[in-house]
Amino acid sequence: MRLRRNTAFTLIELLVVMGIIAVALAALVPAVTSLSKSGGRRAARNTLLGGIEQARTEAIKSGQATYVVFPTFTSGDQSTLDRYNYRSYAIFEDDAAHPGNVKQLTDWKSFPTGVALRAAGIAALSNLADPATLTPPVTFSFGPDASAASFKCFKFNLNGEVQAPAANVLLGIFEGYVNSGSEIATTKDGSGNPSAVEYVMVSQFTGRAVPADAVPAATPTPTPGP
């Protein structure tokens, strides 16, 4: 009589297979996470490009100055900080019916989770115009929390040119968030600056916004000793 061979897996074989699967998953998760974050940066960049073009087009069409406005916070409700601080924008326009005032044309557009606009160094919001220094000065409002926000902006004139600041505008979108004005980056280079960044450049004279190549990162200023 022929004996039938047992073809079932042994416990050791099952453990080996499970170990191989675990190792493969451990190697795959960082790659998927990195891909998701880079996708978030590109999505934020593309959203911003579309918003900037919308503001430029509206200035030319209406004959009124428009503003791309970014809210920043030093304090506030955590949910508001997480959603809007250094990671959102809205478009405003001079109100022809009420000279000296502006009207909001869009809701505040938030970027995907895990990315933010740069707060310091190259391509930072700090390089943009302070609404109080514009001619004439402009006052913006932030609906979600009227008491919390200050603003940075750039302004299109009726020809679709960047009127303020008087230079090309460069914005950086990095992996991380901003806390009390300090960048908390997911990945950093050897100088401690965010290394995973997408850039947008707006030409002063044409007002056109385009993806920009990587720019040199600013080295942090050393803190003076006692």
Q: What is the pLDDT of residue 165?
A: 96
pLDDT in tens, 1-59: 555 555 666 777 677 777 777 766 655 444 334 434 478 999 999 999 999 999 999 99
Segment 59-82 shows an average pLDDT of 93
Question: What is the model's pLDDT at position 220?
Answer: 47
Threshold 0.85, pTM exceeds: no
Token digits for 206?
A: 């044409």
Q: Which long-range contacts (CB under 8 A, 24 or more apart) does 195-199 make?
A: 196/37, 196/38, 196/41, 197/41, 197/118, 197/123, 197/172, 197/173, 198/41, 198/42, 198/44, 198/45, 198/172, 198/173, 198/174, 199/45, 199/123, 199/170, 199/171, 199/172, 199/173
**What band does 172 get if pLDDT is binned at 50, 70 and 90?**
very high
- Classify residue 194 by its DSSP letter: B
Which pLDDT value is given to residue 7?
61
Average pLDDT, the chain: 86
Q: Is residue 176 exposed (0-12), middle (13-18) or buried (19+ Cβ within 10 Å)?
A: buried
Residue 79 has pLDDT above 70, yes or no: yes
Domains of the chain: 39-212 (3.55.40.10)
Tell me the percentage of the chain whose pLDDT exceeds 70: 82
Average pLDDT over residues 141-146: 86
3-class secondary structure, 48: helix
Per-residue pLDDT band at 145 (split at 50, 70, 90): confident
Closest of 213, 218, 215, 206 to residue 168, by C-alpha: 206
In the chain the beta strands, taken as DSSP E runs, fall at 66-73, 88-94, 102-104, 109-110, 115-117, 149-156, 162-164, 169-179, 182-185, 197-202, 209-212
Whose CA is closest to 153, among 140, 135, 144?
Answer: 140
CA-to-CA distance for 165 and 171, rounded, in angstroms? 13
Whether 89 contacts 51, CB under 8 Å: yes
Of 222 and 124, more confident: 124
Per-residue pLDDT at 11: 73
pLDDT value at 71 more than 60: yes
* Helices of type H across 63-209: 78-84
Residue 75: pLDDT band with limits 50, 70, 90 = confident
